[in-house]
Structure 1
């Protein structure tokens, strides 16, 4: 899976990348009530424009991405100065209030996540095969403090093999099975299937369980 993901970026096979801000983010993020200034974690971030949308709304962003090509393209498409530094095992780029950590999400640990107060997952969970999704949900829960909120976007396949991927189909039952042990899970909407896409997206609000929930 890792090699396939890196190959896609090297070869420019990035049909999953949106050239605009995801409408569900713009529609639902304000309703979460995440305070301005709260740092948002974006796992497997690619070069998503959603990170700039969040940054423009006074949210520092910490994106984690395995493909160096994605990070370099993101900063090349921006206008602000770029600073670079290292925090092993990650190489980090900062542009404005967006930090991009190049490396494996599963190597990002709680001591590096001290300032994280929210999260956004549009393309992380659905990029992972079934055997890895349980690990992802548990690791995300370790990084997110009690009371923190986030937005999750999943998809169902309306055409073709339901087990194909990436992106992979993640059903509503699986979302609840993965996240309800550690999060309060609220289904927000099912989107319309775009003509010819073979996908229909679902949007979820997650709140980390704990004293504040």
Structure 2
């Protein structure tokens, strides 16, 4: 899985990347009622322009991405000086209010997440194969304190083999993976697009007791 992801970035096969801010983020982020200044965790962030939009709303961003190619493209397409340093298992690039941590999301530790109170998952859960999604859901729960809020965008496909990424993650699986540790609210379900993908948007609130 990791090697395939890195190869996609090296070869420029990044059809999943959006050249505009995701419309669902624009529609639903205000409803989370997150105070300005809350740091947003964006797992498996790629070079998403959504991160720049979040900064414009007053939120520092911490993005985690396996591909150094994605990170270098992001900072080269941005403005401002870039500082670089090492943090645990990660090489970190910082540009303005955005920190991009290059490495395996599962190596991101609780101690490194103490400032995180908000998260945004546009392409993380749906980028992972079935065997990794349970681990992802548990790891997210361990990183966040009770009351932490987030926005999740999931995709389901009507039929055919699931050869992702992106993978089809239906409502039942979202509930099974996340409801033990998060209060879930389905905010929106879009009609299928031309490729028969149906997009759903969820708000999440971390239940107690929080980190262990």
TM-score range, shorter chain: over 0.9
Distance of 2:183 and 2:88 partners within structure 1: 33
Alignment of 1:35-50 (within 5 A): 35-50=35-50
Does residue 1:190 correspond to 2:189, yes or no?
yes
How far apart are the structure 2 equivalents of 1:13 and 1:211? Answer: 41
CA distance in 2, matches of 1:201, 1:158: 11
5+ residue gaps, structure 2: none
What residue number does 1:87 align with? 87
Question: What is the distance in 1 between the residues matched to 2:106 and 2:170?
Answer: 23
**2: distance between equivalents of 1:194 and 1:158?**
11
The CA distance in 2 between the partners of 1:192 and 1:38, in whole Å, is 32
The equivalent residue for 1:173 is 172
Q: Note if contact 1:152-1:204 (Cα within 8 Å) is conserved in structure 2.
A: yes
Mapping of residues 1-213 of structure 1, within 5 Å: 1-158=1-158, 160-161=160-161, 163-195=162-194, 197-210=195-208
Distance in 1, Cα, partners of 2:16 & 2:159: 16
Structure 1 residue ranges without an equivalent (≥5): none
- The structural deviation recorded for 1:159 is 5.3
Give how far 1:158 is off.
Answer: 3.2
Q: Runs of 4+ in structure 1 displaced over 6 angstroms? A: none
| Count of equivalent residues | 210
**Normalised by the size of structure 1, how large is the TM-score?**
0.96
